[in-house]
Amino acid sequence: MRETIEETAHARTLALDVPGWPGHRAGQHLDVRLTAEDGYQAERSYSIASAPELDAVELTVELVDDGEVSPYLIEEVIPGDVIEVRGPVGGHFTWSVDDGRVLLIGGGSGLVPLMAMLRHRAARASTVEARLLASARSEPDALYRREIETLRPQEGLAVDWTYTRATPAGWKGFARRVDAEMLAAVGPGPSAGARVFVCGPTPFVESVSDLLVDAGYDPASIHAERFGPTGG
């Protein structure tokens, strides 16, 4: 553990130095295994938040009340601690700038792997078309909001937030759950041939995936990843 970064009231980023790290692709996972003194083990699979171009491996962990692993990672771990990890793993939910235009739709902590993709795109100074639709309960709950605002002026990048519970004063953006009208407004539309990545809680992913298919997106172009209640 190199350092920790507070992201929101419920989420923390852990920056890890992993000896012998072979490099990863944006969207891949890292498995974290904790072993108690009595030998009991708990393992969780977390999306990597950092760009492959960064020299540290960053995870952003959201606190799960009564969880087995996340309270430890959020409240207990300090720089210098050693954590057992396995990875990088996964290949389905990955994207690089060489794959072409992309539509990213994230709900809550589902933004984490999408952030790795945007950071990768920024690190490569790519202008490949990328659209991000990020859903959060409110502005204080929105992960990476300040960093995303600094990325916003990049050529080829479009960013939309939607806040589902509370909006900042004077907010003119979306303020509801993702629906067909919102997807049509965000684009790029099913004929653009974009790869689509949807990540968030299971109901969010199922709902957005169905809306995309109904709108005419090719199911094979939609990559889904679900975060859900596993005891975190």
Partner 1 sequence: MTDDCLDGNGMAGLLAEATGAELTSAIRHCQSCGNEYAIGNHRAYRGAGVVLRCPGCAALAATIVERDDELLIAWHGVLRVPRPAAA
In whole angstroms, the minimum distance from the beta carbon of 133 to partner 1 comes to: 19
DSSP strand pairing (41-47 vs 29-35)? antiparallel
Q: Which residues partner with 103 through β-bridges?
A: 131, 196
In whole angstroms, the minimum distance from the beta carbon of 61 to partner 1 comes to: 6
Q: Determine the 3-state secondary structure of 176 from DSSP.
A: coil
Toward partner 1, which CB reaches closer, 55 or 65?
65
Toward partner 1, which CB reaches closer, 137 or 152?
137
- DSSP label at 170? T
Q: Which residues partner with 45 through β-bridges?
A: 31
Toward partner 1, which CB reaches closer, 44 or 120?
44
In whole angstroms, the minimum distance from the beta carbon of 155 to partner 1 comes to: 30
In whole angstroms, the minimum distance from the beta carbon of 106 to partner 1 comes to: 13
In whole angstroms, the minimum distance from the beta carbon of 17 to partner 1 comes to: 20
Under 8 Å between Cβ of 11 and 63: yes
Q: What is the C-alpha separation between 197 and 54, in angstroms, rounded?
A: 22
Toward partner 1, which CB reaches closer, 85 or 151?
85
Toward partner 1, which CB reaches closer, 174 or 200?
200
Name the one residue in this structure whose structure tokens are 């094979």: 220
The residues binding partner 1 (CB under 8 A) are 10-11, 28-29, 31, 44-47, 61-64, 67, 69-70, 86-87, 89-93, 108-109, 201-202, 223-232
DSSP collapsed to 3 states, 88-99: EECCCCCCCHHH
